[in-house]
Structure 1
Amino acid sequence: MPREKNMSRDNMSIPKKQAKKPSKPQKQKPKQPPKQQPTPSSSSSAAAVPSLPVPLQQRLLETFNAAFSPVLASPSFPALLQEVKAALYARDFDAAFANAAPDSLDAYAARWSPTRALGYAGVLLAVGEYLEEAHLVRDGAGSDDGAAAEPEAEEEPAHNKPETQAQAQKTIKMLSIGGGAAEIAAFGAYLSTHAPSLAGHIHLLDSAPWGPVVTKLQDALATAPPLSKYANAAARASNAALLPASHLTSTFTQRDVLSMSRDELGSALGNDVLLVTLLFTLNELYTSAGIGKTTAFLLKLSATVPSGSLLLVVDSPGSYSEAAVGKESKKYPMQWLLDHTLRKDEKPVEGCLWEKIESHDSVWFRLAEGLRYPISLENMRYQMHLYRATRP
């Protein structure tokens, strides 16, 4: 469910000058909400979250260019983008994703996933101290990959399994709910900043058929970029893949997470501590599927997630992430709904108690000057919340 909501709101090409920071949107307060404890931290400044080094940002853009060069160069590319945009603005997500042609999914990934990937990689760097804690990072590949076992689900096997265990690295596991191209690219970029000591496995779970898109991008991550025939010897000698194939493995499962039973979700999570992500996914679940179904999913997650795991939520900020409740369609902020479900009076829900360890209401990711990509890209503004699961 990787969505591009409010695409026109941040419609700025790769900038030569930094755009002025917009005024902070007014929050709509729910009527007499339950009393909440203060969050550990809150920021509206992009300075709170680091970015990848500019050369690595450029390298990641080159990876997207290599993975999706056929569709980027296709004469039908603008028409494909218009079809996707029209479906998104009509909120017809089946047409935009689940029932979309492969070329349309490639076009979406080539157009809107690069900025997301760069922004997500910065978020992973920002929470790196938690990801690198001993209880989350394990030797080798871990005891299981946490793949859902539902027989009718369309699941693709782990991609690019390690060729050898002789170079056993520390390994981190990630379950990306609603994940696709941006998530695997961001995870790969994050791992590359820790090479060769850290490897990773990512399980991407989404209702749309993103498997071929993920495979193209993962292959590009593990392949040295094409060089000009005029490249000098130094450029050829330094040309290398973003990270070795053995450092990043993946599994993709096509499944609607809201339709999964508690046991099926538990199987996807596995037994080892891991990072669970909902990146520009949770608000879409609230608004398209409803608060009841989304709350039920979060409670199943709380009941089955291994203790010590992290939950990372990134979504549109402020009034862009609100869900309507009741006959009067009273709107509640996504963050309030999430905290109300996970941390109700700070009493444990079934299974675990969620500790909020990072929270930022509004953060800007701005593209660095001088980045090159075949088409214009946009800056990104988001809210971010990080939770840790603990057993009472």
Structure 2
Amino acid sequence: MAGKKGATGSKSKPKTSNGGRKKTTKNSNAKTPDKKSPNISSHNLQTAEQDPEQSRKHRQHVLDIFRHAFAETLTSPDFTSTLQSVKQALFDRDFAKAFSDPHHLEVYAARWSPTRALCYSAVLEGIAEHLCDLYSPSTLETTTSPSSSLDTTTTTPPPTPPNLPVLSIGGGPAELVALASFLSQHPHSPSSPPSPSGPSPSPQLHSTLTLLDSGPYTPLINTLTTALTTPRPISPYASAAAKLANVPLLSSASLGDNTTTTTMTTPATTTPTVKTPPHLITLLFTLNELFTAGGLAPTTRFLLALTDAASVGSLLLVVDSPGSYSEVVIGDTQGKDGKKKREYPMGWLLDRVLLDTEREGDGGDDKKRWVKVEERESVWFRLGTGLEYPIGLEDMRYQMHLYRLDAFTGSA
């Protein structure tokens, strides 16, 4: 699954990388062979509280995380040749070859994860109102001092930080940095009871992240976690103001010790563990790979096992290439009559598996099933202008599906 995030989603042959460019405004999916000509929307990573310059600075900070974490990789003499080797392996769908060498993973992450991280962060921003339902509640209790029955002094114990539990199937560097980017823009709980002594800061939002992937990403995850939670390298001659402004993207308490990585072999042999509390479960540029490389039946079994394991209230976020890039061929490419087997849109297959299935819950007669909350058929994510990175990056296009696991009784 490490290879599920292909270079651009394009079916064209790999081309030589332009290693020296800094500005990042090219389109990765310039060709649009969509048969249905879907309506296309677009967005940039910018919250309601941010002005364009704040948004640009945030995006640049995220790019700097990758630039510093993979500085040696990006300046390696064999970067271009290794990149071409990875591109060719992705084009040939030889994922074992593409990611058998840890250096290949580093080159892959340095090249394609920055744009995806910013895009995924924008997707999370777009569903923020739904994510609020997953936050573990804060505990703000008021107690009376036992020193005197007439003493009305009250104390407020420290609030329990709200937690956003996330299981990222096929997740790696892009998913980690995307979540950190989202948390950095939502540092506190969206609401909390008022303190008797007056207003007080809301507790800091945390996240418990589990990354499930077949690639050996642990060293890269550790490197990026350090880069996310420490200040960026800065010149000793920088101004006092610059040094003061040079803060980590995220507090180490928000994410540092919570990230775990688990090796996933194949969907047919992997049983997800996501019982309680309700989680955000992500399949980001992963599901199409499961269908095509893993097969329809094993992937269906995996999705049903995921449904059984998930708690009611969990959200499932699926992001993948749009249009014909995500069409799944069922069976062999050529049938007995020499004609091509039928192709099905990934989103259609996903709906057939999730929305047409009811699963037994933990309460006997209670059952649970997925309902679709949001859907975007084709969306452009655009990096914007004024950004710098050692190599060229591109805009990207994707489709998005968001489901919620609901409970119901009997045949209702």
| TM class by smaller structure | 0.7 to 0.9
| CA offsets 1:199-255 (integer angstroms, 9 cap, x no match) | 111100001111111111111000100112331110001111001111012000112
Does residue 46 (structure 1) correspond to residue 42 (structure 2)? The answer is yes
Alignment-derived partner of residue 383 in structure 1: 399
Q: Give yes or no for contact 2:229–2:251 (8 Å, CA) kept in 1.
A: yes
Alignment-derived partner of residue 93 in structure 2: 91
Structure 2 residue matching 1:129: 3-state secondary structure: helix
Alignment-derived partner of residue 195 in structure 2: none
Alignment-derived partner of residue 37 in structure 1: none
Change (3 A) 1:275 1:94: same
Q: CA deviation at 1:19?
A: 6.8
Matches within 5 A, 1:1-392: 1-2=1-2, 3-5=4-6, 7=8, 9=10, 25-27=33-35, 44-47=40-43, 50-51=45-46, 53-97=55-99, 99=100, 101-133=101-133, 136-139=134-137, 168-196=160-188, 197-248=204-255, 249-260=258-269, 264-265=271-272, 268-326=273-331, 327=335, 328-344=340-356, 348-351=358-361, 352-392=368-408
Change (3 A) 1:6 1:17: closer
Moved more, 20-29 or 201-210: 20-29
Q: CA deviation at 1:27?
A: 3.1
Give the distance between the partners of 1:71 and 1:365, measured in 2 at CA.
26
Give the distance between the partners of 1:102 and 1:18, measured in 2 at CA.
28
Structure 1 residue matching 2:259: 3-state secondary structure: strand
Q: Give yes or no for contact 1:14–1:369 (8 Å, CA) kept in 2.
A: no
Q: CA deviation at 1:353?
A: 1.1
Change (3 A) 1:24 1:14: farther
Q: CA deviation at 1:348?
A: 2.3
Amino acid of the structure 2 residue aligned with 1:367: L
Q: TM-score, normalised by structure 1?
A: 0.82
Q: Give yes or no for contact 2:22–2:390 (8 Å, CA) kept in 1.
A: no
Q: Give yes or no for contact 2:266–2:294 (8 Å, CA) kept in 1.
A: no
Percent of counterpart pairs with the same letter?
Answer: 43
Q: TM-score, normalised by structure 2?
A: 0.78
Give the distance between the partners of 2:406 and 2:238, measured in 1 at CA.
53
| CA offsets 1:151-205 (integer angstroms, 9 cap, x no match) | xxxxxxxxxxxxxx96742110100000000000000000001114311111000
Change (3 A) 1:22 1:78: closer
Amino acid of the structure 1 residue aligned with 2:400: M
Q: Give yes or no for contact 1:14–1:368 (8 Å, CA) kept in 2.
A: no
Give the distance between the partners of 1:17 and 1:7, measured in 2 at CA.
14
Change (3 A) 1:19 1:66: closer
Q: Give yes or no for contact 1:199–1:247 (8 Å, CA) kept in 2.
A: yes
Q: Give yes or no for contact 2:168–2:212 (8 Å, CA) kept in 1.
A: yes
Amino acid of the structure 2 residue aligned with 1:334: M
Q: CA deviation at 1:74?
A: 1.1
Change (3 A) 1:28 1:284: farther
Amino acid of the structure 2 residue aligned with 1:335: G
Structure 2 residue matching 1:71: 3-state secondary structure: helix
Q: Give yes or no for contact 1:28–1:333 (8 Å, CA) kept in 2.
A: no
Q: CA deviation at 1:25?
A: 3.9
Q: Give yes or no for contact 2:374–2:403 (8 Å, CA) kept in 1.
A: yes
Q: CA deviation at 1:275?
A: 0.2
Q: CA deviation at 1:301?
A: 1.1
Q: Give yes or no for contact 2:136–2:162 (8 Å, CA) kept in 1.
A: yes
Q: CA deviation at 1:139?
A: 4.2
Alignment-derived partner of residue 157 in structure 1: none
The number of aligned residues is: 346
Structure 2 residue matching 1:26: 3-state secondary structure: coil
